[in-house]
């Protein structure tokens, strides 16, 4: 058995660009962003099993379409992953069930263990007001905090926020991108 490469210093854009040649690079993307994706979906579904299904679908879709990621707003894939998660959630709502097509194309069997459900439930519990993630969000500079909350959590479009704040949509994107980068760095510091 060989030693697995250390991908911890690579950006998300670099990792996603290497997935075809080194599929194990995707593990690092998953490790970095699982909590954020689970929290995003848990907040919308309130259901641990559905959250676990949608999280699996989100990452399976991201793996299938890794080549499509463009790091135009930085190297973080968190916004791209949340867009995929939002689409999976909305698609699930439309059909009244979770679509597992990406998992099926990859030949993945989705079976949710009790341990996985407990982990998802812990993430759902983290969505409460005293959650560490929300505490980290509260520590951001006000402009970044408000932009992240409005765009990511409340799903408001950049244009709408820009019009409301009377600023350029690119400025709103920058605030969201910087806020997410700060959150990612803070989560990385707290994760052993």
Instruction: Please report how many Cα atoms fall inside a 13 Å half-sphere around the Cα of residue 37, on the Cβ side.
Output: 31
Alpha carbons 133 and 129: distance in angstroms, whole number: 9
Q: What pLDDT score does 51 carry? A: 86
Tell me the percentage of the chain whose pLDDT exceeds 90: 7
Q: Give me the CATH topology for the region 128-192.
A: Arc Repressor Mutant, subunit A (1.10.10)
Q: Give me the CATH topology for the region 1-126.
A: Rna Polymerase Sigma Factor; Chain: A (1.10.1740)
pLDDT tens for 26-63 read: 889 999 999 999 999 988 888 888 888 889 889 988 98
| Annotated domain spans of the chain | 1-126, 128-192
Q: What pLDDT score does 143 carry? A: 92
Q: What pLDDT score does 117 carry? A: 54
Q: What pLDDT score does 110 carry? A: 56
76's torsion region: left (phi>0), alpha (psi -120 to 50) or beta? beta
pLDDT tens for 124-167 read: 555 555 556 667 777 889 898 888 888 776 777 888 888 988 99
Per-residue pLDDT band at 112 (split at 50, 70, 90): low
pLDDT mean across residues, the chain: 77
Per-residue pLDDT band at 170 (split at 50, 70, 90): confident
């Amino acid at each position: 058995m060989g030693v697995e490469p250390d991908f911890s210093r690579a950006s998300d854009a670099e990792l996603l660009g290497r997935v075809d040649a080194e599929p194990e690079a995707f593990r690092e993307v998953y490790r970095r962003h699982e909590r954020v994706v689970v929290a995003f979906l848990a907040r919308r579904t309130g259901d641990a099993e559905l959250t676990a299904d949608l999280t699996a679908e989100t990452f399976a879709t991201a793996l299938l379409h890794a080549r499509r990621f463009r790091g135009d707003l930085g190297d973080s894939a968190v916004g791209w992953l949340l867009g995929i998660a939002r689409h999976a959630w909305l698609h699930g709502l439309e059909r009244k069930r979770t679509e597992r097509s990406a998992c099926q194309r990859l030949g993945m069997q989705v079976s949710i263990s009790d341990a996985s459900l407990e982990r998802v439930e812990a993430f759902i519990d983290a969505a409460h007001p005293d959650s560490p993630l929300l505490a980290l969000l509260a520590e951001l500079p006000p402009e970044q905090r408000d932009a992240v909350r409005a765009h990511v959590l409340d799903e408001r479009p950049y244009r709408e926020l820009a019009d409301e704040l009377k600023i350029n949509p690119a400025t709103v994107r920058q605030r969201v991108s910087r806020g997410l980068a700060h959150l990612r760095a803070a989560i990385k510091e707290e994760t052993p």
